[in-house]
Structure 1
Amino acid sequence: MLKERQQGLVAILTANIIFGLNTPVTKELMDHWMSPIGYTITRMFFGAALFWLVGLFLKSEKVDKKDMWTMIIGGLMGFIGTQLLFSQALEYTTPVIYSLLMALTPVVVLILSAIFLKEGIPSRKILGIIISISGAGLIIYLSGSGGPTGSNNGLGILLAILCVFCYAGYLTLTRKISMKYNPITIAKWMFLVSAIAALPLTFNGGLEHQEIYSESGTVWAYSLLLFSLLFSTTLAFFLMPYALKRLEASTASIFMNLQPIVASVVAIAVGQDRLTWDKPLAAFLVILGVYLVTYKKRKEVAPA
């Protein structure tokens, strides 16, 4: 049993480090090699091809008609919507600001669940919401007019907030089907819907005008894109459900707080952002608030 838990810890740690690294990686691609549309199209086509290929070697699951509609909407919202907003936000703001705002996702999920699923919110979680939002408010208030790379933080922050709500809505919408179907079944249908939706964008130069696909593309640029495709789009997707089957939800949620830390450290180290007094304070408030929202006492966690 201890061995399985250790495997789960390694999986959840690796997945969140990958997600954290993918933020500055995407920023580098947006700054020099790809447009948000080109990046999103590439990820959608790659994900659809890969997960349908993997699905050929697994037992096929029949998807109920009503669940298929959920997957269609989820694919448009969680894959196309979130990924496009993700890359567009990083075109204008820094990885540190973006990752700290995205850390609010569990808070927004809780709020949406209370509104649409009529789930209660205990006082501890209300306190967590207030603390995390105050951290986000600090980020927004002190963000200024631009980062060290000449970005537009105001527009980037707006896109990041929209991304948070889009992803939180996706998580809320797909909660039931995520417990009903194999992750590969969900992924292959959602990626297929997203790839079909992204197809018209290719007719307007969505791929052919990407710098990375021209003669000026470099090994470094290809390495960054391969990291995003192979690790963030693929490996981390397999690691998350593997870990969640071996760990309590509260343990897994704590590791999610690694994402903004990894993204911030790497972004500052490579010069995509600078360290100022407000960022550690904002990070502390956001992570503390998210911890209060996601933490469950041992007696609150249902036995496996």
Structure 2
Amino acid sequence: MSRRLLAIFAAIGATTIYALNHTIAKGVMPHYVQPFGFIILRVLGAAILFWFISPLGPKERIDPKDYVRMLICALLGMAMNMLVFFKGLSLSTPINSSVLITTSPIIVLILSAVILKEKISARKIIGIVIGLLGALGLILFATEVRQDAPNIPLGNFLIFMNSMFYGSYLVLVKVLIGKYHPFTFMKWLFSLGVLICLPFGYEEFMEISWSTLPFEAYFGIGFVILGTTFCTYLFNIFALTQLKASTLSAFVYVQPLVGIAYAVLTGQDTITTVKIVAACFVLLGVYLSSKKPKTTSGELKV
């Protein structure tokens, strides 16, 4: 099996885990664990796991000239995106989260144009506008009233901000991925993430009543640490060694399909007209903005 095919499977596995995470993590917050306290568990647990397996990789030192980029990647990919996502998920619903997270390819495209100076075609511009209109509609017109979702518009906005931060991370991290082994890279990135997140989540982390947590809460915490954080980041890092950032971000199509189905089947969320229309706009926008142009005669397809 080729490394590129393995990378595709890794990308599918990561996005499937993310899709399940919308419902599983929501089941833990905020009744058992507050969102920022959950982030401390997430980054600390992943940091410990990556340090544990790091001896399996080569011994490497971080080049001093990469310190700033490493810190920015940790800030975007291990701190800000997680903090706003979990806070947003605690205020919103699993289906809203599954839909809004698919805006990541659009954000990657915009940032690639701004930072990497990639050209954007007219079709992609139309896709960006349509996708952002879908996200905006979900933020402004989600009027459900649910006890476990106290502020859906704000939650939706924070989840959308997660896409912006994670999209920025995917663009900036590409340089470092080609330079360091994934184990080296991730152990330092998550260690920095712990330091960055600690001031935000320490108080909520200390409030966790471990002796009274039921099994499903422990399962949810374990799934988020081992699956949503450790495995997915490892899968994505490996996928990025073989795939472009824009290609990897396109696998986000799987998330709303699996995420919505799982949320509905488990009774954790319901489908509404606003969610359907917004999802159609977002997915159409992502499709138009990420669709590759047709190759001319004699040109090889990649």
TM score, norm. by length of structure 1: 0.87
Match of 2:258 among 239, 258, 262: 262
Match of 1:274 among 262, 270, 286: 270
Structure 2 distance, partners of 1:67, 1:180, is: 10
Q: Does the aligned pair in 2 maintain the 1:253–1:295 contact within 8 Å?
A: no
1:177-200 superposed Cα distances (whole Å, 9 cap, x missing partner): 223322222211110111122344
Q: Deviations over 1:268-294 (max 9, x none)?
A: 233332211232232122112112222
Residue matched to 1:222: 218
**2:35 pairs with 1:59:** no
Conservation of the 8 A alpha-carbon contact between 2:35 and 2:90: yes
Q: How does 1:1-304 map to 2 (within 5 A)?
A: 7-144=6-143, 146-147=145-146, 149-200=148-199, 205-211=203-209, 213=210, 215-243=211-239, 252-297=248-293, 299=295
C-alpha spacing 1:287/1:59, structure 2 compared with 1 (3 Å): same
Give yes or no for contact 1:131–1:285 (8 Å, CA) kept in 2.
yes
1:303 Cα deviation (Å)?
Answer: 7.6
Aligned equivalents of 1:279, 1:114: Cα separation in 2? 29
What is the number of residues matched between the two proteins? Answer: 300
Q: Give the C-alpha shift of residue 75 in structure 1.
A: 0.6
Cα pair distance change 1:206/1:11, threshold 3 Å: same
CA distance in 1, matches of 2:103, 2:129: 11
Q: For 1:115 and 1:245, how far apart are their aligned partners in 2?
A: 23
Structure 1 residues 130 and 222, CA gap change in structure 2 (3 angstroms): same
Structure 1 counterpart of 2:222, one-letter code: L
1:140 CA drift (Å): 2.4
Deviations 1:241-263 (A, max 9, x none): 44455667776544321112222
For residues 91 and 98 of structure 1, the distance between their equivalents in structure 2, rounded to whole angstroms, comes to 10
Residue 158 of structure 1 and its aligned partner are, at CA, apart by 2.3
Q: Which amino acid aligns with 1:112?
A: L
The separation in 2 between residues aligned to 1:244 and 1:175, in whole angstroms, is 7
Distance in 1, Cα, partners of 2:140 & 2:195: 39
Q: Which runs of 5+ in 1 are unaligned?
A: none
> Structure 1 63/250 Cα, relative in aligned 2: closer, same or farther at 3 Å?
closer
Q: Over aligned residue pairs, what C-alpha RMSD do you find?
A: 2.7
How many Å separate the matches in 2 of 1:240 and 1:122?
27
Q: Which runs of 5+ in 2 are unaligned?
A: none
| AA of the residue aligned to 1:94 | T
